[in-house]
Amino acid sequence: PARTAVLKVLASQAAISLENAHLYADLKAAEEKTRQAERQVRRVVDNIPALVWTASADGLSNFFGQRWLEYTGLSPEETLGLGWTAAIHPDDLEQLQANFQRAKAEGKPAEAEARMRRADGAYRWFLGRCVPLRDSSGQIEGWYGSATDIEDRKQAEQSLRRSEAYLAQAQRLSHTGSFGLRFSPGESIWSKKTIRWSKETFRLLGFDETSTPSLEAVLQQRTHPEDLALVRGAVEAAQRGAAMDFEHRLVMPDGSVKHVHVVADAVTDDSGDVEFVGAFQDITSSKKAFEEIRDLRDQLFQENVALREEVDKASMFEDIVGSSPALRTVLSRVTKVAPTDSTAFITGETGTGKELIARAIHRRSPRSSRAFVAVNCAAIAKDLIASELFGHEKGAFTGALERRVGRFELAQGGTLFLDEVGEIPLHTQVALLRVLQERRFERVGGSQSVQVDVRVIAATNKELEAAMNAGSFRPDLFYRLNVFPIQVPSLRERREDIPLLVEYFIDRFATKAGKRFNRIKRKSLDLLQSYDWPGNIRELQNVIERSVILCDTNEFSVDANWLASGPARKERKRQTLDEHLNGEERQVIEAALAEAGGKVSGLSGAAAKLGMPATTLYSKIQSLRIDKSRFKRD
CATH number at residue 515: 1.10.8.60
Residue 316 has pLDDT above 50, yes or no: no
pLDDT in the model for residue 265: 82
pLDDT in the model for residue 358: 94
Residue 200 has pLDDT above 50, yes or no: yes
Q: What DSSP line would sit under 310-349, residue for residue?
A: HHHS--S-SS-----HHHHHHHHHHHHHTTS-PPEEEE--
Residue 426 has pLDDT above 50, yes or no: yes
Q: What is the mean pLDDT of the chain?
A: 83
**Final residue in a domain of this structure, among 487, 504, 538:** 487
Burial 324-361 (b: 16+ CB within 10 A, else e): bebbeebeebbeebbeeeebbbbbbbbbbbbbbbbbbb
pLDDT in the model for residue 570: 42
Percent pLDDT > 70 in the chain is 86
| Pick from 190-204, 281-295, 378-392: least confident | 190-204
**Final residue in a domain of this structure, among 509, 534, 562:** 562
Q: Are residues 253 and 231 in the same domain?
A: yes
Q: Are residues 482 and 496 in the same domain?
A: no
Percent pLDDT > 90 in the chain is 30
Integer Cα distance of 581 and 123 in angstroms: 103
| Pick from 29-43, 234-248, 545-559: least confident | 29-43
Query: Predicted confidence band at 302 (pLDDT cuts at 50, 70, 90)?
Result: low
Q: Are residues 460 and 397 in the same domain?
A: yes
Let me know if residue 592 belongs to a domain: yes
Q: Are residues 497 and 582 in the same domain?
A: no
First-last CA distance in the chain: 176
More confident residue, 574 or 6: 6
The residues, any chain, with a CB within 8 Å of residue 327's CB and separated by 6 or more, are: 320, 489, 494, 497
Q: Give the residue among 579, 580, 555, 617 at the shortest CA–CA distance from 381.
A: 617
Q: Are residues 454 and 414 in the same domain?
A: yes
Residue 315 has pLDDT above 50, yes or no: no
Count of structural domains, the chain: 5
More confident residue, 493 or 273: 493
Query: Predicted confidence band at 35 (pLDDT cuts at 50, 70, 90)?
Result: low
Q: What DSSP line would sit under 179-235, residue for residue?
A: EEEEE-TT--GGG---EEE-HHHHHHHT--TT----HHHHHHHHB-GGGHHHHHHHH
Integer Cα distance of 273 and 293 in angstroms: 45
Q: Are residues 476 and 520 in the same domain?
A: no
Identify which of 240-244, 320-324, 571-575 has the greatest average pLDDT: 320-324
8 Å CB contact between 407 and 365? no
Let me know if residue 291 belongs to a domain: no
Let me know if residue 7 belongs to a domain: no
The CATH number linked to 453 is: 3.40.50.300
Let me know if residue 11 belongs to a domain: no
Q: Are residues 475 and 496 in the same domain?
A: no
pLDDT in the model for residue 578: 55
Residue-wise pLDDT tens digits, 430-466: 999 999 999 999 888 887 888 999 999 999 998 888 8
More confident residue, 503 or 166: 503
Residue 335 has pLDDT above 80, yes or no: yes
Query: Predicted confidence band at 491 (pLDDT cuts at 50, 70, 90)?
Result: very high
Q: Are residues 482 and 498 in the same domain?
A: no
pTM of the complete model beyond 0.95: no
Query: Predicted confidence band at 317 (pLDDT cuts at 50, 70, 90)?
Result: very low
pLDDT in the model for residue 128: 92
The CATH number linked to 134 is: 3.30.450.20
Q: What's the one-letter identity of residue 323?
A: S
Q: Are residues 446 and 329 in the same domain?
A: yes
Q: Are residues 322 and 393 in the same domain?
A: yes
User: Using the 8-state DSSP alphabet, how is residue 384 labeled?
Assistant: G
Query: Predicted confidence band at 572 (pLDDT cuts at 50, 70, 90)?
Result: very low
Let me know if residue 309 belongs to a domain: no
Q: What DSSP line would sit under 565-621, residue for residue?
A: T-SS--PPPPPPHHHHHHHHHHHHHHHHHHHTTT--SSTTSHHHHHTS-HHHHHHHH
Residue-wise pLDDT tens digits, 587-628: 778 878 877 888 888 877 888 777 777 778 887 888 788 887
The residue range of the domain holding 502 is 491-562
- Cα–chain center distance at 192: 35
Number of residues that this document lists for the chain = 634
pLDDT in the model for residue 206: 85
Q: Are residues 594 and 539 in the same domain?
A: no
Let me know if residue 102 belongs to a domain: yes
Let me know if residue 377 belongs to a domain: yes
Query: Predicted confidence band at 576 (pLDDT cuts at 50, 70, 90)?
Result: low
Let me know if residue 301 belongs to a domain: no
Q: Give the residue among 528, 539, 541, 536 at the shortest CA–CA distance from 567.
A: 528
**Final residue in a domain of this structure, among 106, 126, 149:** 149
Q: Are residues 169 and 259 in the same domain?
A: yes
Looking at residues 372-383, what average pLDDT do you find? 90
Q: How far is CA 511 from CA 46, 239, 549, in A?
A: 107, 76, 11
